[in-house]
Amino acid sequence: MLITDGLRAYHDAFNREFYQNSAPRSKHINAIKLNGDMNNNKMERINGEIRDREKVMRGLKKKDTPILKGYQIFHNFIRTHEGLDGKTPAEACGIKVEGDDKWLTLIQNASST
């Protein structure tokens, strides 16, 4: 299932990349509403954060840049979110990162596996 807004380019891209005549078929939902069951609010939010960050930093010109992966880790494990009552997405899912320096804790945990 691909959820997008009504931009025609998304419909064309969906048909080019995912459409098939045989079952099971992928479904493209493009009639979304901000308050409906099907929406892309979370993706639009993270895309907005990345765009805002990209304006003031360098290094996003290379395809293999680790910057976006680092920002994803920051977003999910370090940055608190008002919509989650001051928790990180990881904490909201029951994943607790202990310590005063969460970056250091994440690096130590990653290097020990």
Assign 65 a pLDDT band (cuts: 50, 70, 90): confident
- The residue segments making up the domain with residue 96 are 41-111
Taking Cα atoms as reference points, which of 7, 75, 81, 87 lies closest to residue 40? Answer: 7
Q: In this structure, are 45 and 86 located in the same domain?
A: yes
0.85 exceeded by the pTM?
A: no
Q: In this structure, are 35 and 51 located in the same domain?
A: no
Is 28 in a helix, a strand, or coil?
strand
Average pLDDT over all residues of the chain: 81
For the ranges 6-15, 55-64, 84-93, the one whose mean pLDDT is highest? 84-93
Single-letter code of the amino acid located at 11:
H
Q: In this structure, are 13 and 53 located in the same domain?
A: no
Q: In this structure, are 55 and 96 located in the same domain?
A: yes
The predicted structure's pLDDT at residue 93: 92
Choose the final residue of a domain: 24, 39, 54: 39
